[in-house]
């Protein structure tokens, strides 16, 4: 079981993921440069956070045409896991592996700091290590994280229980105050219809070691490693 981290020019959370997977969890992990066309046999593909291609035009708009993305789409089509974190989530919506779009935060501010998330569905390869309704704390760091999808798409996501994480307060309560960016339905993370592609704005890779503020992100990568 190998994790592969795609590195775009402008990725800046690639080493965070690498460090956590390698040192905190002891999993085999490698970097995959965006110009290459094969995934070197990696089982789980991570699209990390950052500002791929400078976020020029729109976040993720240029990265989705990087040569490696064809292989990532094929990997997902085969039902193998792909996770996009922050900028990686934006790339996944731009390429159409996940529905909707991530727009400028309602506050217009860059939103950063720890937030609470409620785990909404644990029957997925990304969340099987959590308890239903568990509240976890992970940080966010984004200017464009306001999840938007048209009403019929949102209804479908809810019906199919594809919202995996929702912004909440420390007690798990959903409220506008606990929503850091104005995301519709307080969505922080969601999964594809086939359950194998997940995108989330918060950064689980920054919570993989209690010495670095917490370890609530570990279960996500452990779930993935078990599923892969």
Partner 1 sequence: MMARIHISPKPDILDPQGKAVNSALHDLGYREVSEVRVGRYITLEIQPQPGQDSRARLEEMCRRLLANINVETYTIEIHEG
List active site positions.
Answer: 86, 203, 205
Q: Would you count residue 193 as binding partner 1 (CB under 8 A)?
A: no
Q: Would you count residue 62 as binding partner 1 (CB under 8 A)?
A: yes
CA distance 49 to 171: 27
Question: Which one, 9 or 114, has the nearer CB to partner 1?
Answer: 9
Q: Are 22 and 54 in contact (CB under 8 A)?
A: no
Q: Would you count residue 58 as binding partner 1 (CB under 8 A)?
A: yes
Q: Would you count residue 61 as binding partner 1 (CB under 8 A)?
A: yes
Q: Are 91 and 127 in contact (CB under 8 A)?
A: no
Report how far Cα 37 is from the mean position of its chain's Cα atoms.
Answer: 22
Q: Would you count residue 185 as binding partner 1 (CB under 8 A)?
A: no
Side-chain-side CA neighbours of 80 within 13 Å: the count stands at 18
Answer for which of 25, 73, 101, 228 binds partner 1 (CB under 8 A) is 101
Q: Are 100 and 147 in contact (CB under 8 A)?
A: yes
Question: Whole-number minimum distance, CB 157 to partner 1, in Å?
Answer: 14
Q: Are 122 and 130 in contact (CB under 8 A)?
A: yes
Answer for which of 50, 84, 100, 204 binds partner 1 (CB under 8 A) is 100
Answer for which of 16, 24, 55, 94 binds partner 1 (CB under 8 A) is 94
Q: Are 1 and 44 in contact (CB under 8 A)?
A: yes
Question: Which one, 171 or 177, has the nearer CB to partner 1?
Answer: 177
- Residues at the site binding partner 1, with contacts judged by CB under 8 A: 57-58, 61-62, 65, 94, 100-101, 103-108, 146, 148-150, 182
């Amino acid at each position: 079981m190998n994790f592969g981290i795609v590195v775009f020019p402008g990725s800046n959370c690639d080493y965070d993921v690498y460090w956590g997977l390698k040192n905190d969890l002891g999993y085999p992990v490698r970097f995959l440069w965006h110009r290459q066309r094969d995934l070197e046999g990696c089982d789980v593909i991570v699209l990390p956070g950052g500002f791929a291609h400078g976020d020029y035009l729109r976040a993720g708009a240029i990265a989705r045409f990087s040569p490696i993305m064809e292989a990532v789409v094929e990997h997902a089509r085969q039902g193998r896991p792909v996770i996009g974190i922050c900028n990686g989530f934006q790339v996944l919506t731009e390429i159409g592996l996940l529905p909707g779009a991530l727009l400028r935060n309602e506050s217009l501010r860059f939103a950063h700091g720890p937030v609470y998330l409620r785990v909404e569905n644990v029957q997925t390869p990304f969340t099987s290590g959590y308890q239903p309704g568990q509240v976890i704390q992970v940080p966010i760091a984004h200017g464009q994280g306001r999840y938007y999808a048209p009403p019929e798409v949102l209804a479908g996501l809810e019906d199919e229980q594809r919202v995996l994480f929702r912004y909440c307060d420390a007690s798990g309560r959903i409220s506008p105050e606990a929503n850091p960016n104005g995301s519709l339905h307080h969505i922080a993370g969601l999964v594809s219809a086939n359950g194998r592609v997940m995108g989330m704005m918060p950064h689980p890779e920054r919570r993989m070691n209690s010495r670095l503020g917490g370890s609530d992100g570990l279960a996500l990568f452990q779930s993935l490693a078990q599923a892969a």
